[in-house]
Amino acid sequence: MAKLNFVTVFLATLAALGVQAVPMIEKRQSITTLTSSQVAVFKPFSWFAATAYCDPSVTKTWTCGTNCNANSDFIPVASGGDGSSIQFWYVGYSPSQSTVVVAHQGTDTSQIEALATDAEIVRGSLDSTLFPGIDSSVGVHDGFRDEQAKTATQVLAAVKSAISAHGATKVTVVGHSLGAAIALLDGIYLPLHITGVTFKTIAYGMPRVGNQEFADYVDAHISLTHINNKDDIVPIVPGRFLDFAHVPGEIHILNDLSWIFCPGQDNEDANCTIGYVPNIFSGDTDDHSGPYDGVKMGCS
């Protein structure tokens, strides 16, 4: 497949979502500030990501609190997980966004921090049955890989039935924290098994998931936006000194609440996460759960 220019994909994504007057981004590494209408595009997906924290038995009825009820026309198709050994997940169809939605629950800051800063982190190849054709040099955090594998085939079956039940042409995968890492892996996995629809991943507070080869694979194949809030430290772990690399598609929310688009992988601009949060001691763990344009991650 031809290498996609991320900026093109990002702009095309916004355009597809009906956002006009997207500024031209000339230089790959130059940052831009999103307009309020560009920021607003993400809000329904922030609600979807937050709703993944709700118990699926409640999510089934889609009357589960402010974040969940906000996407009131959503039609749930399947859900699972137990909120402890398996993160909650759900799949359904959003008529107002005309997309199938896949959402994965995250964890609290201390748990994700422990996972992503574990001195024993092992990176491994992706399972060749789940991820056929992906080179073994593509290495991912084994903890994140194993979490995605737990629900992969159930999620795939649910996405297929949601597509056929609603004649969908788009699939959007969302998640926060650990759920963001799972969403990114789902965003790679699902297109390897489903053709004829377009895929997009929108992740919140996502840690680094894999090595340079992984970031390059994502750069070339996946339409991704990952949104980092203020001084959250999760997006800067595991560290680059451990040979982890960040995938492209960063949006960084500053303390003044502006949303900055940071093109490329691991953009070092002072207003992108790495420049803004140079080490875990300068971060603020409270920023991990948001708010992302007013949406706090959690079932509320």
Ligand X SMILES: *[C@@H]1O[C@H](CO)[C@@H](O)[C@H](O)[C@H]1NC(C)=O
Query: Could you list the residues that contact ligand X (CB under 6 A)?
Result: 254, 256, 258, 270-271
State the pairing for strand pair 224-229/198-204. parallel
Which residue's CB is nearer to ligand X, number 184 or number 272? 272
Which residue's CB is nearer to ligand X, number 79 or number 267? 267
Which residue's CB is nearer to ligand X, number 112 or number 262? 262
Alpha-carbon distances, residue 286 vs 96, 132, 210, 231, 291 (angstroms): 32, 38, 25, 8, 10
| CB of residue 87 to ligand X, shortest distance in Å | 34
Which residue's CB is nearer to ligand X, number 130 or number 272? 272
| CB of residue 271 to ligand X, shortest distance in Å | 4
Supply angle C-alpha 46, 47, 50, rounded to 5: 85
Which residue's CB is nearer to ligand X, number 34 or number 163? 34
Supply angle C-alpha 140, 209, 36, rounded to 5: 155
Q: Tell me the H-state helices in 118-257.
A: 142-166, 178-189, 212-221
Angle between helices 178-189 and 109-117 (to 10 degrees): 60
| CB of residue 258 to ligand X, shortest distance in Å | 5
Please give the Cα distance from 249 to 167 (Å, whole number). 28
| CB of residue 31 to ligand X, shortest distance in Å | 7
Distance from chain centroid for Cα 123: 20
| CB of residue 298 to ligand X, shortest distance in Å | 28
Q: CB–CB of 276/270 below 8 Å? A: yes
Q: Is 18 exposed, middle or buried (0-12, 13-18, 19+ CB in 10 A)?
A: exposed
Which residue's CB is nearer to ligand X, number 65 or number 291? 291
| CB of residue 284 to ligand X, shortest distance in Å | 17
Which positions ≥6 away from 73 have C-beta within 8 Å?
A: 94, 95, 96
| CB of residue 255 to ligand X, shortest distance in Å | 9
Which residue's CB is nearer to ligand X, number 216 or number 269? 269
Tokens of 110: 């201390």
Tokens of 247: 């995938």
